[in-house]
Structure 1
Amino acid sequence: MGIGGLLAALFIMAACWADITLPCFRPYGMTGFCLLMTGACLAGITGLTLCIGLGPWQKLQHLAIRYRALHGWIGITTGTLLSMSFLAGTMTLFAAPLQQWSQPPLPDHGALPLADIPATLDQILTSRTEDLPSIFPGLHYRVGLKTSDTATLSIPTGPELPLGLPASHILISLPASHTPSLHQLTLSPVPTFIGGLHRRLGLPLPENWAMPLVGTVCLLYGLALLSGVILLLPGIWRHLMSVRLQGHSRRLWLDLHSLLGLCSLPFHLIIALTTALFAFSPLLYPVSSGHDGIQQATARKVPPASSLLPPEKALSFLHELAPDFHPLTLDYVLSPHGTDSQAERLALHAPLYNANGERSLPPAGQSYLLAEGTDLQNPLIGRDRGAVLLTPETGHLIDSQNLPGQQTPARRILTWCLALHFGSFGGEFVRWLYVALGLCGVGFFHAANQLWLNTHRRRKPGQTSCVETPATLWLGRLSEGTLLGCLLGLCGIIAISPLMTHLTPIPHLSSVSTPDMEHSYQQTSLAYHGLIALTLVSYCLLPRALCRGIILALAAFCLSGAVTIVLMRHTAVQTPLAAELTIAFSFASLALWAGSLLTLYRWKQVAPTGR
């Protein structure tokens, strides 16, 4: 075991050394480093598995016996964390739709003709020019494309940092009077919180503290996957693709765990490797990023919107550059926010999540046009979109390394690694496929925990049933309570998400207020962790079956309440993605209600007998 761990560490250290020392990797920058890290993690997991398996035994059955204890202990120590991460990760697939779903009804006449956007923006910005520096430390306006000739127009009031809290937006609409109308939209921090929960495996720790632990857990997760395959091989043909419902519960959990693991093995290997890459690269890349220096530029005077590249010309240029690329937003960043710096992005551990990549960031103070969109024919490097950087004055290309279909082979390989993690390819079918795989992952890890608990329960002589030991009793309560607490917490914060978004009309830009997003985020965190604590206390005091039914009922109530709030707002179907989410949450709440009623009915049947 020690030799294997040393070998795995050497592979990762060798990747860092190669990125720093070998000239052949320098032109690839972050791309080359990420590919090296992915290969090093894969080689480390494989080497660790082989080293553990080396020994005097040659038969596969004996090798499986040697792996069983390792596989079981890795499962029980990491299974609950991974199941929470998979549950939250399933929700992050709908981060953008959840934000739209939570919004109140948007103002009428929000879609403007593309040709009218520069004049409308100039009319607004020149009305109170003297107030602009105090209102907006950086000037940035966003064109959200609706149709081929209409779009929405908004002004973010803060930097759009990757993994950061969302900034409020000033929505600009143009009623029949042709006098621009302004509304301030305060967004919900719930999608950001769920994303952080997923990245930290549900741990209530700061991001930079949790990342080393996350990387270690994911390497162990990959090791458990390979050792599980070795355990499965000796008897794989006897009960392949079958679940034995009769007999001992241990057999049921074993069959269920093996079936879910075998069917989704490639998916789990991809998740383990890419998550280890996400966790370790921010910690190691600053050491190897000396050859990626970014020149500083002096700040320039903000030009009027009418002097910039019109949106329709930008779209025409993008169509010529990448015909399959469908832009969703055009961000004209004319005066970048002071906090939107390279150091801030690295502090957020976000070099891979950043839509336009680390090396493609423009010099500080330089204006740029960021076009983000989708491409059904190519994988996307972001969660749901690719990106390209242009100059806002002329439309000249600054960087296209994250533009789908226009990447170098090395960058394309990295993009596929990220797309396989996020499910950002193949459109809606793949998104829902990843939802199914994510929920199967939750069942996979929960089945692993139950299998370990059944294995370690004591069997009394002359009795067919097993007896709980103090360790299995409390581990069982904690593992199930934590998972159901995570479910209840997610449903609870989804229920309050529509209540945390606000749309306020404002007379002019000087009336913009600064919402305390940190406070809203802390309230969300308090609500989530409070529900988890409530669940764990319930599992410590009440019978498990009763707790299970009550927690499922509370989760169903929260989700039903969220759907009811959105339906009463008449925003459930304001966008196609919001309609999908409304239907999905409705079915999920019905499933939770059914599970709760069935659990309580069974508990009521067995409770009087004392079983």
Structure 2
Amino acid sequence: MRVRADILRTYQGVHTWTGIIAGLVLFIGFYAGSLTMFKHELADWSKPVSAPVFTPESHNYQALIDQAIAHYSAQMSHGFSVDLLTDKAPLSWYSQGTARGMKLDNQLQTLYLNAQNELVIQQQSEHKLADLIDYLHRTAGFAGEIGHDQSGVYILGLAAILYFLALVSGVIILLPTLVKTFFALRKEKGASRFWLDSHNLVGIVSLPFHFIIAFTVVIFAFHDLIYGGLTQFYGDEPLFQRGTPAAQSYHIDKLPSLEKQLLAAKNYAPGYEPIHISFSRLNSAMPSAVLKMSNNAAVVRGPDTDYLFLNPYTLEIVNSSYPQGEDSQWGNFVASLFSLHFGTYGGEWGRWGYFVMGLFGAFLFYSGNLLWLDKRFKKAPNKRSTRFMAHLTIGICLGSMLGVAATLLLAKWSNLYIENANYSYLYSYYLVFFAFVAYTFYKGTQPASFWGLIGLVMLCSSMGLSTLIHAVLTEDYFKYYSSIAVDISAAVLAIIFYLSAKKVKDRSTYYSVITTS
């Protein structure tokens, strides 16, 4: 296929500058995003071993709820949750903070029945490691808020728009040579050609995935503005179904049994199993119960499960993430967008696929910046702006990965000694990240590349070693066998980082053309 040279030059400029502007922010979003596919496994991996309160077979949820209401009616009327899978205390509510937002000082009151059927209540800090990984994915680490959302969400939304333009322009650039060079990885033509072929191959193979992510990120970032614009065409009819308040307030003493709540959910969604239920506003005219519904053999439209919203007193289904038919077209559309972005609709294979594609996406932005720098250095090797961008690329990309790896390792040990380790996670990430960026500007890209990769090798290797030490200290080998996938993945990444560091040291890769500052 022939495309005019002037058109190719135009789209090459669009592809280059949109990629450069958005690339570093999106690198963090993709790298952290790949980890969010297993964020709960990572959080469980970091938690210290603790003896189960009782086995799931011995749970008497209704007796627990009844005793808790009898003793703590005022607190529970604001809201409480029941986890139907845990072997720890299944009932909890927030004594400080809420489920929304990223408050690191949230406190939970947890309750369970002991062997004598007596109510036991304990206070503990909410473990936020999984939420912090997701926060990094959604905001790329940008602090602050705009309105009711984080500023980083809007920054990533703008970056996703540029990202979409980069994808379209990249396809147009490749059209004339797509068939001939699609699977070509020409090592014999030098490092730059190999990087370019790798960049093009990853970009084209994962193109549908990248279009999905770019589109859904824009939707997530600007959904409020989009909904506001749609109301101008949609009229007075609400975009989403909303429940109507009851004529009078309900009271928690009249709350139907948990068994009835779960039965109503199962009847609405046959084949799905409720695994968690959260109640709120129980002493009001608009009470709510939100159930997480699990089905490993079905398409899931949430991050981990589907969701079902019902009135806990009338047991009427108010809303859900399931397809709602023609009466809720906008709800179905939004649920589908969530499903495409979260990647949980494909089961375990889907999660691993999104994990790998997320890492490939990070590679795409990293390699794109290296290719741009390669051209710039050949034209003007001592240009200050080019050196600044080189330092920024190495500092931000490797710094973000070092920050995450260091935080995961810290979490493994800090949970043993610190009651609320959430702040240590936050400080650890930003301290390592900014320290490495500063080190890159001070020492130059070549030593920073090498020692940054060596640091990743050491941190990833230490994750498996930490697991082994914990297993020996606690004599609970089964617990750590259950998290073996995290340690194996870390070991594989350590090998990849080691091979990359070796190539940097041998000056046989791209960055051998960049001299130290």
Aligned counterpart for 2:139 among listed residues 200, 205, 212 = 200
Q: What value does the CA root-mean-square deviation take over the aligned residues? A: 3.6
Q: Equivalences for 1:375-386 in 2 at 5 Å?
A: 375-386=295-306
| 1:105 corresponding residue in structure 2 | 49
How many residues of Structure 1 are paired with residues of Structure 2 in the alignment? Answer: 493
Alpha-carbon contact 2:395-2:440 (below 8 Å) kept: yes
In structure 2, do the counterparts of structure 1 residues 586 and 445 end up closer, same or farther at CA, with 3 Å as the change threshold?
same
Q: Which residue of 2 aligns with 1:310?
A: 258
**Could you say what secondary structure the match of 2:344 adopts?**
coil
Pair 1:475 & 2:389 matched: yes
Structure 1 residue 189 corresponds to structure 2 residue 136: no
Residue in 2 aligned with 1:55? Answer: none
Aligned twin of 1:493: 407
Residue 227 of structure 1 aligns to which amino acid in structure 2?
Answer: S
Alpha-carbon offset, residue 255 of structure 1: 0.9
From 265, 286, 307, give the equivalent of 1:387: 307
- Whether the 8 Å CA contact 2:289–2:311 is kept in 1: the answer is yes
User: What SS does the corresponding residue of 1:381 show, helix, strand or coil?
Assistant: coil
Q: CA deviation at 1:413?
A: 3.8
Instruction: Note if contact 1:200-1:214 (Cα within 8 Å) is conserved in structure 2.
Output: yes
Residue 328 of structure 1 is matched in structure 2 by 275
CA deviation digits over 1:514-545, x for unaligned, max 9? x8x7xx65543332222122111221222433
Cα distance, 1:475–1:410 mapped onto 2, change above 3 Å: same
**CA–CA distance in structure 2, aligned partners of residues 456 and 534 of structure 1:** 27
1:373 corresponds to = 293
Q: Distance in 2 between matches of 1:136 and 1:590?
A: 50
* SS of residue in 2 equivalent to 1:246: helix
Shift, 1:494, TM fit = 1.4
Query: Is residue 368 of structure 2 the alignment partner of residue 424 of structure 1?
Result: no
Question: CA 1:573 to 1:413, structure 2 compared with 1: closer, same or farther past 3 Å?
Answer: farther
TM-score by length of 2: 0.83
1:161 is aligned with what amino acid? A
Distance in 2 between residues matched to 1:536 and 1:203, nearest whole Å: 15
* 1:70 paired to 2:17: no
Say whether the 8 Å CA contact 1:140–1:335 is kept in structure 2.
no
- Aligned: 1:319 with 2:246: no
Is the contact made by 2:14 and 2:165 (CA closer than 8 Å) also made in structure 1?
no
Q: Is the 8 A contact 1:144 1:152 kept in 2?
A: no
Does the CA-based 8 Å contact 1:99-1:191 persist in structure 2?
Answer: yes
Q: Percent identity?
A: 22
Which AA in structure 2 matches 1:424?
A: T
Task: Tell me if the contact between 1:185 and 1:501 (Cα under 8 Å) persists in the aligned partners.
Answer: no
Aligned twin of 1:264: 206
Q: Secondary structure at the match of 2:180?
A: coil
Code of the aligned partner of 1:480: I
**CA-to-aligned-CA distance 1:299-341 (integer Å, 9 cap, x gap):** 543227xx52233x444443332223232212344638xxxxx
Shift of 1:383: 1.0
In 2, Cα distance between equivalents of 1:189 and 1:395 = 32
- The whole-number CA distance in structure 1 between the counterparts of 2:107 and 2:495 is 34
1:452 lines up with 2:372 in the alignment: yes
Cα offset for 1:153?
1.6
Q: Deviations over 1:226-277 (max 9, x none)?
A: 1111100011122121111122433222211111110001111111111011
In structure 2, what is the equivalent of residue 525 of structure 1? Answer: 426
1:370 is paired with a residue whose SS is: strand
Question: Quick one: distance in 1 between partners of 2:481 and 2:112?
Answer: 21
Unaligned runs of 5+ residues in structure 2 are: none
Q: 1:334 to 1:279 in 2, by over 3 A?
A: closer
Q: Matches of 1:257 and 1:182 in 2, distance apart?
A: 55
**Conserved 8 A contact 2:139-2:150:** no
Q: Secondary structure at the match of 1:450?
A: helix
Q: Give 1:301's aligned amino acid.
A: H
Provide Cα deviations, 1:1-43, integer angstroms capped at 9, x if missing partner.
Answer: xxxxxxxxxxxxxxxxxxxxxxxxxxxxxxxxxxxxxxxxxxx
Cα distance in structure 1, aligned partners of 2:49 and 2:228: 44
SS state at 2:189 partner: coil
TM-score (norm 1): 0.71
- 1:533-572 pair list within 5 angstroms: 533-567=434-468, 568=470
8 A contact 1:378–1:404 mirrored in 2: no
Partner secondary structure for residue 489 of structure 2: helix
Q: Which residue among 50, 53, 63 is the counterpart of 1:119?
A: 63
Equivalent residues of 2:143, 2:150 under 8 A apart: no
Secondary structure of the structure 2 residue equivalent to 1:486:
helix
Which residue of 440, 447, 472 maps to 2:360? 440
Write out per-residue CA displacement over residues 178-223 of structure 1, whole angstroms, 9 at most, x where no aligned residue: 4344444423323222222221234344344334432222111101
